[in-house]
């Protein structure tokens, strides 16, 4: 008989029901490891990259294989990130109820699950799409796990590093469609990269106490006054406006995209400036965060439909 595995240190004691979880609960916990909302965003930006990269009609089989493989690798990165940070998650109120810190799943389960997803996803892209898209997906996951994740405990610049893997998915879609990376792919990368910075800074401001408790050196933790956080949010939002308009000048989109994206960019900049004036007020950080959630899907939709 094997020896029972003890719950993670800091996890809540298991109840009788949690000691023998149902198959449905275990499946839900495994799904939670993949951070479905983040994975969905990765899939959507990959879809846009494919759509903009295609030179003729849409190959639905190729597109489906691209999205499946990318989703698997993105899910793997999230699961392995939770494995690497479950002790830190236990120290933060907003993440303490995740499957690992709560003790509903053991860390080795997340590790095995993540490695399986990564292997299958990378192989899927290589065999069903092309080596370039698979390589980009591997770079995305590896940089997220091996650079961004450990750097969060070292420097506030980890946010900039983490924005790189977050911006690669549209390039995966482009590479799937063309088997090369053109100017348009890099423009999409820059749009998503620049968008992420005010988005992440707003989150860091909202949860700076959690991040401090976990030992993460986010900018609002390092500089509690928030002046640098606010200034950086404005600078990135300002840089995003001309970059986001480039698809219109490259023939990737039309006038509707130009007008809509310009308006969205101005609103995003105004929200960032409002946040900069009083970065210590959670309502302003929350407003910037919520607008960021609207901005990217709206810009991606305009790019596809324009």
Q: What is the pLDDT of residue 20?
A: 55
Query: Residue 182 has what pLDDT?
Result: 92
d(CA 151, CA 81): 13
Helix or strand run (H / E) with residue 281: none
Q: For residues 107 and 174, is the Cβ–Cβ distance under 8 A?
A: no
Give the pLDDT of residue 89.
95
How many Cβ atoms are within 10 Å of 9's Cβ, its own excluded?
10
Q: Which CATH class is domain 24-155?
A: mainly alpha
* Overall pTM surpassing 0.95 (yes/no): no
Low-confidence ranges of the chain (pLDDT < 70): 1-20
For residue 37 the two structure tokens come to 């909302």
Q: What Å distances lie between residue 93 and 9, 15, 204, 208, CA to CA?
A: 16, 20, 14, 11
Question: Which contacts of 234-237 are long-range, i.e. CB under 8 A and separated by 24 or more positions?
Answer: 234/269, 234/272, 234/273, 234/276, 236/194, 236/197, 236/198, 236/201, 236/272, 237/194, 237/198, 237/265, 237/268, 237/269, 237/271, 237/272, 237/273
The position carrying tokens 């691209």 is: 66
C-alpha span between 247 and 13 (Å, rounded): 53
DSSP label at 145?
A: I
Look at residues 200, 204, 196, 195 and name the one whose alpha carbon lies nearest to residue 222: 204
pLDDT given for residue 12 in this prediction: 44
pLDDT of 142: 97
Token pair of 130 as six digits? 């092309």
Task: Say what the pLDDT of residue 17 is.
Answer: 45
pLDDT of residue 14: 45
Give the domain ranges of the chain.
Answer: 24-155, 182-306
Taking the CA atoms of residue 57, residue 62, residue 65 and residue 67 in that order, the dihedral angle to the nearest 10 degrees is -30
Q: What is the C-alpha separation between 225 and 234, in angstroms, rounded? A: 16
In this structure, which topology does domain 182-306 adopt according to CATH?
1.20.120
Separation of first and last alpha carbons in the chain = 63
């Amino acid at each position: 008989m094997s020896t029972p595995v003890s719950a993670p240190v800091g996890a809540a004691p298991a109840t009788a029901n949690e000691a023998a979880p149902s198959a449905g609960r275990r499946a839900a916990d495994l799904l939670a490891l993949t951070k479905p909302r983040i994975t969905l965003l990765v899939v959507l930006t990959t879809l846009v990259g494919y759509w903009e990269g295609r030179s003729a009609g849409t190959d639905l089989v190729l597109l489906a294989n691209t999205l499946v493989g990318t989703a698997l690798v993105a899910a793997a990165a999230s699961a392995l990130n939770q494995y690497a940070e479950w002790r830190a998650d236990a120290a933060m109120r907003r993440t303490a109820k995740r499957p690992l810190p709560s003790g509903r799943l053991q860390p080795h389960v997340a590790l095995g699950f993540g490695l399986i997803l990564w292997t299958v996803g990378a192989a899927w892209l290589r065999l069903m799409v092309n080596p370039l898209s698979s390589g980009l997906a591997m770079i995305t996951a590896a940089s997220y796990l091996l650079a961004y994740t450990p750097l969060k405990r070292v420097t506030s610049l980890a946010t900039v590093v983490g924005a790189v893997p977050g911006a690669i998915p549209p390039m995966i879609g482009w590479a799937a469609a063309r088997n090369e990376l053109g100017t348009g792919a890099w423009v999409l990368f820059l749009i998503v990269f620049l968008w992420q910075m005010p988005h992440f800074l707003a989150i860091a401001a909202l949860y700076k106490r959690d991040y401090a408790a976990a030992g993460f050196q986010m900018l609002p933790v390092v500089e509690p006054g928030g002046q640098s956080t606010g200034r950086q949010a404005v600078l990135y939002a300002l840089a995003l406006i001309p970059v986001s308009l480039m698809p219109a000048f490259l023939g990737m989109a039309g006038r509707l995209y130009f007008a809509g994206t310009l308006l969205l960019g101005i609103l995003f900049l105004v929200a960032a400036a409002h946040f900069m004036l009083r970065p210590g007020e959670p309502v302003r950080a929350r407003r910037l965060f919520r607008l960021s959630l609207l901005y990217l899907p709206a810009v991606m939709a305009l790019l596809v439909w324009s």
